[in-house]
Amino acid sequence: MKLCMIGTGYVGLVSGVCFSDLGNEVICVDKDEEKIKLLKKGVIPIYEPGLSELVIKNYKNKRLSFSSDLRTSVNKSDIIFICVGTPTIKGGSSADLSQIYKVAKEVSTSINKFKIIITKSTVPVTTGDEIEKILSKKNNKNKFAVVSNPEFLREGEAIRDFTYPDRIIIGSNEKKSNRILKNLYSPLISKGALYVNTSRRAAELIKYASNAFLATKITFINELANLCEKTAINIEDISIGMGLDKRIGSRFLRAGPAYGGSCFPKDTKAIISTADKFKTNLSVIKSVVKSNEKRSNILLERVYKILKKKIKNKKITFLGVTFKANTDDMRDSSSLQMIPILSKKGAKIKYFDPTGYKKEFKNIKNVSYENSIKKSLQGSDLVIIHTEWNDFKSLNFKKFVKGKKFIIFDLRNIYSSSKIKTQGFKYFSIGR
Ligand code: UDX
């Protein structure tokens, strides 16, 4: 099939490349010409394990191409995926849909034969209806179908998540599109993915509801971790004990810092805003957002307690600063809240991240990047394990100590408290 992916961010690039790997002809379009030039040379704008190899393979065998010419690319394709960003609107909480509607207008002038226009970006309920209105202005209704097909891939696991999804959601009541899309996804369906056909609005809401539910699960376990800290209970026993109930499930019950990334913070706010628009109060999700916003402060309070309220001139190391492992993404990472506050209080901060220097800390006083774990740990008073990179999972901390031992605050519960303590380190973790 001939596909056109508009937008080469996480969703567009990963899905485009994976679709081409399944044998389709895919054009990935982006208005950023520089990005397109680099992609043609095999330079990938994002850090995603395995992606570069797939891009090069499929570009060489000519199933995958890149272009900044939207109109021609749409013209040549049968199925158009809109994969542009839907960030939180400036100064508000709803999703900014300007890029979606701009693309829809451009697509509306390039429909030369029947095309399926799909939103893969996360879009609020009724966005599909709006896109349909835009397309109808320039085209007869039998020339196109607007479908919602949300993508559930996680950064760092994107190729696996695309290839082995739990479910494929197709929001459309239109028979022809359903048949074509079931065929497009048949290689994944035959590997066990469930194909679910819903109304377009339901598909739009499923994406937000899923992200909001996962964010709720994390926030729930984070709050219970606070209770466990006060009652000498190990939060991991709680996660295991609860997770074994099949109605609950064990995933996304890892306590840690505030959830971050490009989706959960943005999508929880956007679903609340959509519900407000329809005069519906999503009070559970509202308190999840509030609780998560307070999470970094709670962890900072623990840092102050660990350092006996003497923060000035304390040398603090952050191991990992991205919002999670296997990504270079800093969006809404809890380190962006914690590091500036510690710096303001006079701490001297060094950080190491496997994905390198971060421009986000450039203008923050007393924050420096070190290019090795060893250098970042030298002379430290407190080491905060912020991100669960494999690189940090089996460190022999004793090797890094010269003189006084540093304290360790493990925000991801990577280490066993008893083992680290027998090595003579003061060790703190989350909910245990
Ligand atoms: C998420 C959704 O999982 C994905 O389906 C959607 O398409 C995009 O948003 P992503 O943002 O890549 O994916 O990361 P995810 O692995 O879901 O983690 C999100 C945040 O939750 C991270 O900050 C992570 O550290 C945190 N998290 C996750 C926990 O704190 N505990 C957990 O048990 C799981």
Answer whether residue 219 shows pLDDT above 90.
Answer: yes
Domain match, 283 and 305 both: no
Ligand 1, residue 260: give the atom nearest the CA.
23
Ligand 1: distance of its center to the CA of 153 in Å? 10
Main-chain phi, psi angles of 64, to 5 degrees:
-120, 130
Show the beta-strand stretches assigned E in 245-381. 315-319, 348-352, 367-369
pLDDT by residue (tens digit) across 28-48?
Answer: 999 999 999 999 999 999 999
pLDDT by residue (tens digit) across 413-424?
Answer: 999 999 998 999
378 lies in a domain? yes
Domain match, 340 and 419 both: yes
271 lies in a domain? yes
The mean pLDDT value for 384-392 works out to 98
| Contact by Cβ (8 Å): 380, 319 | no
pLDDT category at 221 given cuts 50, 70, 90 is: very high
369 lies in a domain? yes
Q: What is the pTM of this model?
A: 0.96
Least Cα distance to 118 among 74, 69, 88, 52 occurs for 74
| Contact by Cβ (8 Å): 203, 171 | yes
pLDDT category at 6 given cuts 50, 70, 90 is: very high
243 or 404, which is more confident: 243
Query: Which among 143, 170, 198 is the end of a domain?
Result: 198
Ligand 1: distance of its center to the CA of 154 in Å? 7
Domain match, 185 and 219 both: no
259 lies in a domain? yes
The domain that contains 283 carries what CATH number? 1.10.1040.10
Show the beta-strand stretches assigned E in 308-412. 315-319, 348-352, 367-369, 382-385, 407-410
Domain count, the chain: 3
| Contact by Cβ (8 Å): 106, 286 | no
Sign for the pseudo-dihedral over CA of 386, 390, 395, 401? negative
CA distances from 3 to 102, 252, 297 (A): 19, 33, 46
- Domain residues for the domain of 352 are 295-428
Q: Please confirm, yes or no, whether 263 is among the known catalytic residues.
A: yes
Domain match, 299 and 385 both: yes
Best mutation site among 153, 154, 164, 217 for ligand 1, i.e. most ligand atoms within 8 A of its Cβ?
Answer: 154
Domain match, 284 and 320 both: no
CA distance 99 to 89: 11
The mean pLDDT value for 174-190 works out to 97
Domain match, 224 and 346 both: no
Percentages helix, strand, coil for the chain (3-state, rounded to 5) are 45, 15, 40
Answer whether residue 426 shows pLDDT above 90.
Answer: yes
Domain match, 311 and 394 both: yes
pLDDT by residue (tens digit) across 143-167?
Answer: 999 999 999 999 999 999 999 999 9
pLDDT by residue (tens digit) across 299-348?
Answer: 999 999 999 999 999 999 999 999 999 999 999 999 999 999 999 999 99
Q: Which two tokens stand for residue 383?
A: 């080491």
Nearest CA to ligand 1 atom 1: 154
Strands of the 115-119 sheet, one edge to the other? 64-67, 25-29, 2-6, 79-82, 115-119, 144-148, 167-171, 194-198
Best mutation site among 252, 289, 386 for ligand 1, i.e. most ligand atoms within 8 A of its Cβ?
Answer: 252
Ligand 1, residue 150: give the atom nearest the CA.
7
Residue 403: the pLDDT is 86
Ligand 1: distance of its center to the CA of 257 in Å? 12
pLDDT by residue (tens digit) across 237-251?
Answer: 999 999 999 999 999
Domain match, 322 and 307 both: yes
pLDDT category at 359 given cuts 50, 70, 90 is: very high
Q: Is 81 in the pocket of ligand 1 (CB under 6 A)?
A: no
The domain that contains 90 carries what CATH number? 3.40.50.720
Ligand 1, residue 254: give the atom nearest the CA.
33
Query: Which among 293, 319, 346 is the end of a domain?
Result: 293
Residue 402: the pLDDT is 86
The mean pLDDT value for 109-120 works out to 96
Domain match, 253 and 190 both: no
End-to-end CA distance of the chain: 53
Domain match, 137 and 225 both: no
203 lies in a domain? no
Domain match, 274 and 370 both: no
122 lies in a domain? yes
Residue 63: the pLDDT is 97
230 lies in a domain? yes
pLDDT by residue (tens digit) across 259-299?
Answer: 999 999 999 999 999 999 999 999 999 999 999 999 999 99
Nearest CA to ligand 1 atom 34: 252
Q: Is 253 in the pocket of ligand 1 (CB under 6 A)?
A: yes
Q: Is 211 in the pocket of ligand 1 (CB under 6 A)?
A: yes
Best mutation site among 263, 334, 412, 414 for ligand 1, i.e. most ligand atoms within 8 A of its Cβ?
Answer: 263
Query: Which among 293, 321, 353 is the end of a domain?
Result: 293
133-264-157 Cα angle (round to 5): 100
Nearest CA to ligand 1 atom 26: 259
176 lies in a domain? yes
Domain match, 299 and 282 both: no
| Contact by Cβ (8 Å): 200, 171 | yes
